[in-house]
A and B are shown apart, each in its own frame.
Chain A
Amino acid sequence: MTRTRAHGLCRDRLGRLLIGALAGLALVGSASAQTTVQEKLDQLAKLSGAERQRFLEEQAFKEGKVVMYASDHPDLVRVWNAEFKKRYPQIDCQFIRMTTREMTQRAVNESQAGHPVTDLLHPPAVELALLQRSALVARYLSPEAREFDPEYRDPQGEWSVFWLAPEVIGYNTELVKRADVPTTLEGRGSTALKGKVGRGPNGPAWVAGVLKVRGETEGMALIQRAAAAEPRVYDSNTALANALGSGQIAIAYDLLVTTLGPIKSRGAPVDYVIPEPMFVLPVYQVIMKDAPHPFAAALAYDWILSKQGQALFKGVDQIGPRKDTDYPYADVMRGAKTMMSFSVGLVGEPARFNKLFEDLFIRR
């Protein structure tokens, strides 16, 4: 190949690259000229009642598809898939169940790579804070959330709580008496049950909660005493509930009642007491800022928060935020003296709590 020919080829390639880049810019330009997800959602804010619903359904049917990544109970996701399809057969709904970690990583990576897949996401507080910091959340005020308690809806519309679960203290009824189960933070320091107590994976949030409720000095002393009692740390609520039900441990701290309840109802020798204070784990619903199907996302968002969507919770032993709906474990929600939610404000910056928990409870 001669030098002149090589230069010619290089010029050709450069030319093609230039044309490609210009075409790319043109595409970006046309994309920015299109209506954004936020603008589409804002259109809904201008409408109300039946007119709004008709417009929303029309637009959602045109989109024809909705994707949601959720870490909710598989039974709940299964029933949502079935019932939403039944209600809106015009929409191909893909409610995909994954773990919290994978759900967040996938949604963030797909968005940042410019290839968004999911429309809706169900993150807990720490993950929600991460999404908000990355500016990946759209604002949407659902009419269904209008009557929610203030702590369950964002006035700016970035999120609504659609699911929650209180953390209780579980015990094995064959190994320990109810009266001997410590219900206070002070009681957790007792070494009488050393080797027979375990705790769940939500430790960093618990540390944040204790420091908030009792203040830095007293809270830290209580946390250190609890760690000195050497609870066995399990990496999931399931593992903790299994250890309790099978008798490996006698007491399980900070176990979600929605995990313990089903095995209790199936005959396991377990029960629970309400701790003081009681922490509640909320999970939020958000629409992604680059949702490929924003109207279908809004329709699914409303449906999940609606009375019809929330009525499905009871059949699968889950709890939601609506005041006009019956949920299981109402006794627990009513029985707590002090109740605190693992909200974005409390656990949104988790680095310090992660380190404290891991150093005290795991890397002793």
Chain B
Amino acid sequence: MTPPSGVRRWHGQDPWQTGAVVLAAAVVVYLVVVPLAFLLYGSVFTGAPGQPGTLSLKRYGEVLTDLRTYRLMWRSVLYATGATSVAFCFGAVSVWLVQRTDIPAKGLFTFFTLFPLFMPPVLSSISWVLLLDPNMGLVNRLATQLFGIPALFDVNGLAGMIWVGGMLDVPLVFLWLWPALVGMDPTLEDAAKICHASAFRVIRTITLPMVLPALAAVFLINFVLAIEDVTVPIVIGLPAHINVFASEIYLAETRVPTDMHSASVYAVILLAITLSLTLAYRRLTAHTERYVTVRGRGFRPSTIALGRARRSVTALFALALVGTVGLPVFILVWTSLSPYLQVPSVAGLRSLSTRWYAVLLADPMAIRGVLNTAILGVATALIVLGLSVVIGWIQVRSRARFRQGLDTLAFLPIAIPGLVVGLSLMWLYLTLPIPVYGTLWILGIAFVTRFMPYGVRLAYAGFAQIHAELEEAAYVSGSGWPKTLRTVSLPLLAPTLMAGMIYTVLRAFRELSASLMLFSFGNEPFSVVAYQMWDAGETSKTAAYGVVAIVMMTLIIVVTQRLTGRRQLGE
């Protein structure tokens, strides 16, 4: 990859620059190498960690020569591609409508599009089952009662999994594409319009190619998230006998005793798929200068007037949100008020109460969980974004020889199962004389490791859209690297950083697999508390806890936006 001509490259001359680069590289290596080594070792070691065993490649042979592996792989790819495509269709159209058109109530539309991200994934999936199950699903029942037709939808199949998986990821597509669109100079689009190019042609030939790194990054991340997602395959796939790679890893992990060997072999195969996709992504976006949308000249983002279609487009958008967001949220709130999990009905209204909210208030662990995660989420987001900015800068702006290695290393944790991250950190800090085991710190380290890949991809896409001439101008004026970064790059990256901040805080509320291995008494994060409520059969209480978390997360986001005082989502 060749940086644009004239860009100040890293030669190690600026001590601040050298310090930041070395520190970021050291932190990435420290965070990633241990879990990665643990995963690779686990895949060739036949025993559980700490148990007797031998080094062998036999399991690789068994897995790779088993036809079932390829069936699982094919089904996983189908599921991930389908879910990503569904998320893309809804997410990209939503963000385009909000960001580039004159649709009204943009803040409201943005908020509701992001809403599924606030819901605990298990409860989101269950909400869809309660809506689309052929035996008792609310939508199917209504269709039967109103039109006398049999069940319209069946969530219990691959198509149902793809739909639900896609719906869970719509907010991610929205969140990640938002900075790309908000930072786009409309000059080229305006020029095309002056030349009488149709709106479709403008999108196809100007808009889409310019946001290609962001689109590719979002598609890649969503694909990887979908292929490693375990919630939908377990809640919907397992009862319907539809297994994918992630469910196979889950089965190996939950088997007693834990079959870490098989889980690691499957995870390494997943890692190989992810790495090949990353390489493809890198080739696709090899020439960053092609995607520059922010240059030295000032611009005002323009919006496309929808004209007479404005009302109908708005109504259609609102209707889609009611169906895809409103109904699952309604199910969540309904469940939080119900004595047990039941499909909404008129008869069920009589049984509703706020009992579970009162139970929650009396549970100190529930309150601790929200507070611990709020602290962890914000701290993790700041560290992840700091690291991502430096790594993104190295990747896009510098010619450092290690830049691609560092980028790959920072992206690897995306495919390392959370359980492996948790176990490896547990072993590391039980062995090292660093007193972080049993504290919030160890959870913070796990969170930074797990969320870093998303921050890095976002920062990379953000830097790729900003022409280096802006930074060059600062250098010419005598600014050093830190000042240039602070006064030029960071303000231009603000929308990207905001999206990264929101995403990381929300992910902190959802991270479970590593947290389960690392939490301790008094340091329980939200996801662990919620999972334990769910595991113990307290479904309605879990839903109430989810509603409380939604309120908390909304507050965090609103306060963050107010504090940063920058362009806000949806504006």
Contacts and interface: CB of A to CB of B under 8 A. Distances in A.
Instruction: State yes or no: do A and B come from one complex.
Output: yes
Interface of A: 67, 73-75, 78, 94, 96-102, 104-106, 108-110, 112-115, 117, 126-127, 130, 134, 195-196, 198, 230, 232-239, 241-243, 245-249, 259, 262-263, 266-268, 350, 354, 358, 362-364
A149 to B, nearest CB: 25
Given A267-B351, A268-B342, A126 B533 contact: no
A238 B521 contact: no
A99 B530 CA distance: 12
B98 to A, nearest CB: 35
26 contacts: A74-B532, A78-B363, A78-B365, A98-B516, A99-B535, A101-B254, A105-B258, A109-B423, A110-B426, A112-B49, A113-B427, A115-B431, A126-B256, A126-B257, A235-B238, A238-B536, A239-B235, A242-B340, A246-B130, A247-B135, A247-B343, A268-B340, A362-B243, A363-B68, A363-B243, A364-B241
B152 interface: no
Given A232-B239, A233-B239, A362-B243, 19 more contacts: A99-B535, A102-B516, A109-B426, A112-B50, A115-B431, A196-B135, A234-B239, A236-B534, A237-B537, A238-B534, A238-B537, A241-B537, A243-B239, A246-B343, A262-B537, A263-B339, A267-B339, A350-B255, A350-B257
A248 B135 contact: yes
Interface string B238-264: 111101000000110111111000000
Contacts of A96: 520-521
A194 B170 CA distance: 35
A253 B88 CA distance: 40
Contact of B136 (A97, A113, A235, A246): A246
A242 B521 CA distance: 29
A41 B365 CA distance: 33
Interface of B: 48-51, 68, 126, 129-130, 133, 135-136, 234-235, 238-241, 243, 250-251, 253-258, 339-343, 351, 363, 365, 423, 426-427, 430-431, 437-438, 516-517, 519-521, 531-539
A354 B339 contact: no
Contacts of B539: 238, 242
Contact of A246 (B240, B341, B351, B437): B341
Contacts of B534: 236, 238
Contacts of A98: 516, 519, 532
Q: Would you call the interface of chain B mostly helix, strand, loop, or mixed?
A: loop
A163 to B, nearest CB: 13
Contacts of A115: 430-431, 437
A195 B135 CA distance: 9
B203 to A, nearest CB: 42
Q: Which of A233, A243, A364 has the most CB of B within 10 A?
A: A243
B238 A233 contact: yes
A113 B50 contact: yes
Contact of B431 (A94, A113, A242): A113
Given A245-B342, A248-B129, A358-B251, A106 B257 contact: no
Contacts of A134: 51
B160 to A, nearest CB: 13
Most chain B C-beta atoms within 10 Å of own C-beta, residue among A130, A242, A248? A248
Nearest to A92: B521
Contacts of A108: 48, 50-51
Contacts of B243: 362-363
A202 B459 CA distance: 45
Contacts, number: 138
A188 B129 CA distance: 25
Given A239-B235, A241-B537, A113 B258 contact: no
A320 to B, nearest CB: 17
Contacts of A130: 256-257
A109 B255 contact: no
A45 to B, nearest CB: 30
Contact of B254 (A78, A235, A241): A235
A248 B431 CA distance: 48
A346 to B, nearest CB: 14
A334 to B, nearest CB: 24
A27 B339 CA distance: 57
A109 B427 contact: yes
Contacts of A112: 49-50
Nearest to B534: A238
Contacts of A195: 135
A212 B341 CA distance: 36
**Top 3 A-B residue pairs of the complex, sorted by shortest distance between their CB atoms:** A113-B430, A112-B50, A232-B239
Contacts of A248: 129, 133, 135-136
A97 B254 CA distance: 17
B136 A247 contact: yes
B241 A362 contact: yes
Contact of B535 (A236, A245, A363): A236
Contacts of A106: 426, 517
Nearest to B230: A235
Contacts of A117: 438
Contact of A354 (B135, B255, B423, B536): B255
Contacts of B363: 78
A364 to B, nearest CB: 6
A74 B531 CA distance: 11
